Amino acid sequence: MLDNLKGKRVVLASGSPRRRQLLGGLEIDFTVRLINGIDETYPDGMAMAEIPKYISRRKAEAYVPTMASDEIIITADTIVWADGEVLGKPRTPDEAVSMLRRLSGRTHQVVTGVTVLSADRRETFACVTDVTFDTLSEAEMQHYVADYKPLDKAGAYGIQEYIGYIGVTGISGSYFNVMGLPVQKLYRVLLTF
């Protein structure tokens, strides 16, 4: 369906297996290329939806020096927003459980910023999804963190895993955005490249 991409090489600039799976669902050929050590900090006081957009642009800029003229680079960054602050990737299991306690019985936002970059164009957008959790027991949270080790996930959870099965009572917006890549919106943007 994305015939406009013929003659282009699509590059997913992400090590996330979930993003690879989701982009693969668009039935396009792509390769994965990683540059390690890209600075993912952002200025204080930045609005919720601007944070992942800023970081995805920063990631895209790191690829410009080595980008070929026929390439389309896709970068993304996902944050969990709760109580007016970002819940990033937890550093320890205890921090992961603490994050889940903050999300338990409440609604939070998952925001993904995506940048699509070619030799002559750059487009950045954000997608916001509201996710509501049931009240989780301490045992459920401890089990999830011990068995699923969500230290590589913003907000310490993957909606497609156990905690999502037992804990998510409502979602408003893109499910795939919560997994890390709003593929429906990305598809519409890729149609214009």
Enumerate residues 6+ apart whose C-beta is below 8 A from 129.
Answer: 109, 110, 111, 171, 172, 173, 174, 175, 177, 178
On whether the CB atoms of residues 150 and 162 are closer than 8 A, the answer is no
Local structure of 160: helix, strand or coil? coil
Is 77 considered catalytic here?
A: yes
Residue type, 119: A
Beta-strand relationship, 107-118 and 71-82:
antiparallel
Helix (H) or strand (E) holding 185: helix 183-190
77, 130, 134, 147: the catalytic one is 77
Strand partners of residue 128 = 111
Would you name the residues annotated as active-site residues?
77
